Structure 1
């Protein structure tokens, strides 16, 4: 029996160049799942950030509108208050005129009825303005 020893192309196992193994399917799936989870997490965080920014903008806009409405309300209220004061002074002067007319009236004059009519009209206007002021309050 003769042993053949050759130094040719068939080299022992230890000298063969190592081939790289392709990544395993489990490893690839794990990477994909990790990327998907990270993408979903990032989308969730971004949507929350955008939502908070929108809420801040809406609050600022609402606050500005409320301030504008408050200014408008105060202007209308001041205008109505001035009109009420003016009507009150007219009512007072009509009352004085009516009292004077009553004291000096004779059965032949009909001035007191005219004054009462005017006074009632002024009182109606005053009541209407008072109701408007109450609604504004």
Structure 2
């Protein structure tokens, strides 16, 4: 049932009306293209985020490893320094103690030579000498432990 207007219409107008169903097909294609491009854009963003996160993770772990290594080196040098100070102090103590032992030996020898039958000071000196030798032995054992 065509109306009179349609009959009077030019063939170009009639062709334009018949093109409308073709627009629906291209419209579906454009929606599909639009949603596909959005999907690709979102997927690209997600992949970029994942790659950037992995990059940051490796960079952070490398920085942590370097920082830990620095701290370990600092602790090691501090430990070595303290150990050297302790060895030096221990050696000085051993030298002072050896000096005391030598002076006690000299005093003991002098006392022994000058002792008469009325006084018995040599027992006290022997006791002190034994105590000093005990301490000297302990210090030597501690030095061996430190080495």
TM over 0.5: yes
- 5+ residue gaps, structure 1, are none
Residue 90 of structure 1 is aligned with which of 84, 94, 100? 100
Residue 67 of structure 1 aligns to a residue whose secondary structure is: helix
- Show the counterpart of 2:55: 45
- Show the counterpart of 1:133: 143
- Show the counterpart of 1:101: 111
Higher relative contact order (CA 8 A, sep 6+): 1
Residue 109 of structure 1 aligns to a residue whose secondary structure is: coil
How many residue pairs end up in the alignment? 133
- Show the counterpart of 1:113: 123
Aligned-partner Cα distance in 2 for 1:27–1:107: 118
- Show the counterpart of 2:88: 78
- Show the counterpart of 2:133: 123
CA displacement 1:90-123 (0-9 Å, x = unmatched): 1112112222322333333211101101111211
Residue 9 of structure 1 is aligned with which of 4, 10, 13? 13
RMSD (Å), alpha carbons: 2.9
Q: CA deviation at 1:7?
A: 3.9
TM-score, normalization: structure 1? 0.77
TM-score, normalization: structure 2? 0.72
Aligned-partner Cα distance in 2 for 1:111–1:46: 81
Larger radius of gyration: 2
